[in-house]
Amino acid sequence: MLTDSSDINTPRRHVPTAPFETPISESRLIKWLLTGAALAFLGLILVLPLASVFTEAFRTGVTPFLSALAAPDALSAIRLTLIVAAISVPANLIFGLVASWAIAKFEFKGKSFLITLIDLPFSVSPVISGLVFILLFGSFGYFGPWLVAHHIQIVFALPGIVLATIFVTFPFVARQLIPLMEAQGTGDEEAALSLGASGFQTFWKVTLPNVKWALLYGVLLCNARAMGEFGAVSVVSGHIRGQTNTMPLHVEILYNEYNFVAAFAVAALLAFLALITLILKSLLEWRYGGELAASRRH
Amino acid sequence: MNWPRAAATEPHRDRDERRARQAPVRIDVEELGKSYGGFAALDNISLSVRPGELLALLGPSGSGKTTLLRAIAGLTSTEQGTIRFDGEDATSLSLRDRRVGFVFQQYALFRHMSVFENIAFGLRVRPRRERPRAGEIERRVKRLLELVQLQGLEDRYPSQISGGQKQRVALARALAIEPRVLLLDEPFGALDAKVRKELRRWLRELHTETGLTTIFVTHDQEEALELADRVVIMREGRIEQIDTPADLYREPATPYVCEFLGGVARFDVNAKNGEAEVLGGTFPLEQMDYSGPAIAYVRTHDIEIVGREAAEGVPALVRSARPFGPTITIELSIEGRRERIEAEVPRELYESGEVSLGHGVFVRATSAWIFPTG
Amino acid sequence: MNHAHVLSRLVPARMPSVLPGFGLTMGLTLTWLSLIILIPLAGVFIRTTGLGWDAFVTLATDPRTLAALRLSFSAALAAAAINTIFGFLVAWVLVRYDFPGRKIVDAAIDLPFALPTAVAGLALTAIYAPNGWIGALLDPFGIKIAYTSAGVVVALVFIGLPFVVRTVQPVLADFDKDLEEASATLGATRLQTVHRVLFPALMPPLLTGFALAFARGVGEYGSIIFIAGNIPYRSEIAPLLIVIRLEEYNYAAATAVAAVMLVLSFVLLLVINLLQGWNRRRTGFSD
């Protein structure tokens, strides 16, 4: 579908699809070389690791793979991962919606500072993310003695893991929604209000449907990170087998015990989840790319 | 603008080049063809551009005018046909060797370079052998800035100058490489009306001064007719007519050209032996023995108001009048025809009451062009 | 809800708006932010200042700490540099050329974002270990990657790849072809056009991508501890040192290292941001 360049009504955009047969591109040979080099690099860096996970997981057959996953510790790790995700993702979803409403639909000073603050977890090392909660709630932390006195366990238990996960996945939803909602403006909401809708109704019936795909996209990324987070969770979890190990942590434990097949089995499950995430992500981008493009300019 | 003088001894090729540069170039397009998929952007185009001529390629979107321009420049490849510069086959020459100056609709100035650096670009990228020394480059750029009347702006950046100024920088940049031919792709399309008019006039003067063979593409017929020595009217990849603006206006060759130039009313008529009657007058066709269905075009000011009584002409009813200015444009409805036609009447006729709203008059055509249908 | 009213008065200079809910949502946002992010992060610095300057300096300049910091930062730098070069290549090929499966390759670039770091670490170790697919090829030449600092760099290249590619892609895709054509008509070779016209426009996103990859690499933990060897003073990264100190209940040392990391990263990012700003002004392009 090539457009005649004499059509002045079509804004000229560089459409990054098939190359145009113009004298302003590189020679065939160079194209081949560059493409080959790029693909070789990607093959080495991306494909090989992914392939090895599955290869090693099934090295001794399907049965050891399945029994590794069915082991009690593995099952509890899977369960814990799911619980943590089930708590953190909705929490950050709600936060994301609330924050983007406050930021995108109103004008005030200090907006970009606020957005920078929201982005902070991205620039902090995961280990430090976990460290901060140890400093607060660990036995020698600020609230440590108080917590011990009240028999409340935060670190080395589920609450700590959830908190650390919420911290690291904090920005995902908000980052998708804010640029999109800013681009969409307040026109629709003002129209709804003028027709008599309440604030909440407006939000539910007008704003939300407008951003649903970006929201889904943000949730997808948030979930992927929540399930796969290692550093922060590792610090706060205490690595108590069968109790405070998420799937990534369990992989480490199995690896340290030289139980490679089992380690790779759990890793393969995680890799499989990652592939699903990628596929869903791509689907969303291909179908709703326009809408998402506004939010991808971070 | 003086071309730099040749060195004392120069290689054959350079000397021939210099000679070619000094005289304006003739461009011959022979049976050029290009299609995208099944769609023919250029369909067997042949034309000759005279040395030093200012030629306009005029047509609507999709007519192939830009494709033709870009083919001559070497930006778009073609499947059939040849392009010659002074008889030399240019189709096989690379973009670099064609030495064509091209000006884009959206200026295409390099944003990270100053005005000076933009204009100097073509000189700086030359192979070491052909590259002028830095002092010489500076001299030429300054001279070009004077030519386009932008002295003093050499250190500004494109984001700091106006649209009209940007286009002049683009022109200076194209001229810096001493091109054989200057090609402009809708050069004023992105500017507002007032600037457009000024630059039009200025381009004409520039052309006179440089004497370069120049081709420009436009969809604005006023621009084409006002500026060009000759105009090429294009349609769907083919050439409808090439003529001077005056000849185009006087003798449009096809119905399409009539409609394109506008200001006409169209009638379906029947021709007998090379003649047809329209609006009370009889006019000849070019095909002197044609009989059959035909289309007639009558210009707005070729419609004469004969008067209230039926001396000659066709009855019509005055539907509306725009009474401003020395002549008044009135809309008439004629029996048997749904669309109204426009005619111009002198003010006195209107004011005297000869012609008035809601009343009938007789009209006739003083001139018309008739073409066989199909 | 008084809380929200007080907070909304604290936020100055807001233009009156038709839409409701600002007070509530802003209040919630600020509360959430403070609880989850600001207070915990502040905790690090309060803890650090509580140490006293001398104690802090001693901890921060401990040789093992310095070695760990040096490794983290230099490996991140090397990996970011590699990613800048190859990321540019990949972005170029994806945008400019077509080949079967291009869309799939394009989607695959995000794999490091989606894959848990532990899985990446495990897989990379398997490949580059002396008996792994690549490790076995290199071992006869005496080249060891796994369990050395080279392994750290490899892991960080994996982690940082999408940053450069994704920041360069949109700029390259949106690049006005007219400029390249103009350059060609003025007589520039293809190489000259790429060098003089395209590159200056791509410098800001390249720098941005470099900065993002670098920042990410400095703090990376999960993918490295599998492949690094983790030998103190040799192949131990700073985040690992923090974890070890925590396990020793040496909160002071842990916070000291964390504080140094945060400050250094902040300074470096500031420098790069300034660089970007300078570049943007010079070239007249905006991200």
- pLDDT of residue C254 exceeding 50, the answer is yes
Which residue range forms the structural domain that includes residue C235?
A: 52-283
Read off the pLDDT of residues B111-122 as tens digits, 9 standing for 90 and up. Answer: 999 999 999 999
CB contact at 8 A, C269 and C188: no
Chain B residue numbers with beta carbons less than 8 Å from the beta carbon of C204 are none
Chain B residue numbers with beta carbons less than 8 Å from the beta carbon of C200 are 112
CATH number, position C156: 1.10.3720.10
| Confidence band of C283 (pLDDT split at 50, 70, 90) | low
- C35 domain-assigned: no
pLDDT score recorded for residue A275: 95
Residue of B157, A14, B262 whose CA lies nearest to C180? A14
Give just the sign of the alpha carbon dihedral A39, A45, A47, A52. Answer: positive
- pLDDT of residue B4 exceeding 70, the answer is no
- C43 domain-assigned: no
Mean of the pLDDT values across residues A236-260? 90
Q: Which of residues 204-263 of C touch A (CB under 8 A)?
A: 215, 218-222, 225-226, 239-240, 242-243, 246, 249, 251, 254-255, 258, 261-262
- Report the chain C residue with the minimal C-alpha distance to residue A121: C37
- pLDDT of residue A1 exceeding 50, the answer is no
- C22 domain-assigned: no
Q: Can you give the pTM of this predicted structure?
A: 0.81
Chain C residue numbers with beta carbons less than 8 Å from the beta carbon of A128 are 44, 219, 239, 242, 258, 261-262
- C200 domain-assigned: yes
Structure tokens, C227: 């492949």
- pLDDT of residue B1 exceeding 80, the answer is no
Max Cα–Cα distance, chain A, nearest Å: 79
- C31 domain-assigned: no
- Cα gap C147→B348, rounded to integer Å: 103
- pLDDT of residue C26 exceeding 60, the answer is yes
- C16 domain-assigned: no
- Report the chain C residue with the minimal C-alpha distance to residue A265: C119
Q: How many structural domains is chain C composed of? A: 1
Interface test with A, best of B42, B43, B45, B61 (most A CBs within 10 A): B61
Residue of B167, B163, B176 whose CA lies nearest to B210? B176
Q: Which of residues 23-82 of A touch C (CB under 8 A)?
A: 23-27, 31, 34-35, 37-39, 41-42, 44-50, 52-53, 56
Q: In the complex, which subunits touch C with 3 or more CB pairs below 8 angstroms?
A: A, B
- C111 domain-assigned: yes
CB contact at 8 A, B38 and B225: no
Read off the pLDDT of residues C74-100 as tens digits, 9 standing for 90 and up. Answer: 999 999 999 999 999 999 999 999 999
Residue of C263, C227, C217 whose CA lies nearest to C76? C217
Interface A-B, measured as beta-carbon pairs within 8 A, has a size of 43
- Report the chain A residue with the minimal C-alpha distance to residue B217: A6
Read off the pLDDT of residues A257-269 as tens digits, 9 standing for 90 and up. Answer: 999 999 999 999 9
Chain C residue numbers with beta carbons less than 8 Å from the beta carbon of B176 are 186
- C6 domain-assigned: no
Structure ipTM: 0.84
- pLDDT of residue B40 exceeding 60, the answer is yes
DSSP three-state, residue C226: helix
HEC string of chain A equals: CCCCCCCCCCCCCCCCCCCCCCCCCCCHHHHHHHHHHHHHHHHHHHHHHHHHHHHHHCCCCHHHHHHHHHCHHHHHHHHHHHHHHHHHHHHHHHHHHHHHHHHHCCCCCCHHHHHHHHHHHHHCCHHHHHHHHHHHHCCCCCCHHHHHHCCCCCCCCHHHHHHHHHHHHCHHHHHHHHHHHHHHCCHHHHHHHHCCCCHHHHHHHHHHHHCHHHHHHHHHHHHHHHHHCCHHHHHHHCCCCCCCCCHHHHHHHHHHCCCHHHHHHHHHHHHHHHHHHHHHHHHHHHHHHHHHHHHCCC
Q: In the complex, which subunits touch B with 3 or more CB pairs below 8 angstroms?
A: A, C
Interface A-C, measured as beta-carbon pairs within 8 A, has a size of 303
Mean of the pLDDT values across residues B78-85? 90
